[in-house]
Amino acid sequence: MSTQKQREPESQEPSDGETTPTPQERRLERKESDRAVREEAADESDLEEETVLLKVFRYDPEVADKQEPRFDEFHVPFEKGMTVLDAVIYARDTYDPSLTFRHSCRQAVCGSDAFFVNGKQRLACKTQISELDQPVRVEPLPHQEVIKDLVVDMDHFYDQMHAVEPYFQSEELPDDELEEQRQSRENREKIKMSSRCIWCAACMSSCNIAAGDNQYLGPAAINKAYKFAMDDREEAELTEHRLRIIEQEHGVWRCQTQFSCTEVCPKDIPLTEHIQELKREAVKKNLKFW
């Protein structure tokens, strides 16, 4: 059952008085319209009376007959509003308690349940079953070492995040220790999207460059560096220090603007644009005028 419909053609030149949407606004509009089309298709379907067929990746190096990776099938009764996470929880609780995966908040906040669902990195608790073609294939994030079933080793991802020093470091503290260190409204607006990251690693898993270069900082870490490098409250020397980290050999210059990270980010962070902006800042920092 396909839920795809023809997309409306892109709008042409704006008429007088209209502002041109930014690439990020166009991407969000497209995501929103795709979502609406899928929801409409789901409403028209009779999925409510069906079961969902899940094909879930299984692997356990510690159990003899599970050392060879395979897919297990589970038939899960569909309920309106069911997410991929709901479905795998049902499969585990009903059929096989050894089915292993991470999850916690169930509301797209903790970032622990990014899986590869029907060939795309998605947050399981944010992905509606009704939006997917069947069978629903659930795999661990590609390009990460699998520990067991859907659980991948996140150590390398966390190492890359920590390499950009992801914390506020300004030395100019307010006189009164109870006083807030205020940020201008404009500056807050600039870094707003970058601060939405939930450390799910979907972007890193989707990135071809990260797959081929184990030392590449990756989109999430560079986005984190962007958040602090663009924060006006940090001193100029600190910003320079941050730019030096991201302009290293395995930093921003490795990005080939493929937009795969931006496409899969469940928090809609314009990752590729942030990486491009940091490239411009790094060039500006190194320009000399005589």
Residue 149 touches which member of ligand SF4, ligand FES, none, C-beta under 5-8 Å by kind: none
Q: Is 132 exposed, middle or buried (0-12, 13-18, 19+ CB in 10 A)?
A: buried
Shortest separation between residue 267's beta carbon and ligand SF4, angstroms: 4
With beta carbons less than 8 A apart as the criterion, state whether 82 and 128 touch. Answer: yes
Q: Which is nearer to ligand SF4, 58 or 267 (CB)?
A: 267
Shortest separation between residue 35's beta carbon and ligand SF4, angstroms: 17
Shortest separation between residue 123's beta carbon and ligand FES, angstroms: 5
- Distance from C-alpha of 225 to C-alpha of 280, rounded to nearest angstrom: 14
The single-letter code of the amino acid at 259 is F
Shortest separation between residue 161's beta carbon and ligand SF4, angstroms: 8
- Of 208, 220, 204, nearest in space to 258 by CA: 208
74: β partners = 54
Contact residues toward ligand SF4 (CB under 6 A) are 197-203, 219-220, 223, 265-267, 269, 271
Residue 113 touches which member of ligand SF4, ligand FES, none, C-beta under 5-8 Å by kind: ligand FES
With beta carbons less than 8 A apart as the criterion, state whether 215 and 263 touch. Answer: no
The single-letter code of the amino acid at 99 is L
Residue 197 touches which member of ligand FES, ligand SF4, none, C-beta under 5-8 Å by kind: ligand SF4
Q: Which is nearer to ligand SF4, 54 or 203 (CB)?
A: 203
The single-letter code of the amino acid at 271 is L
Contact residues toward ligand FES (CB under 6 A) are 103-106, 108-113, 123, 125
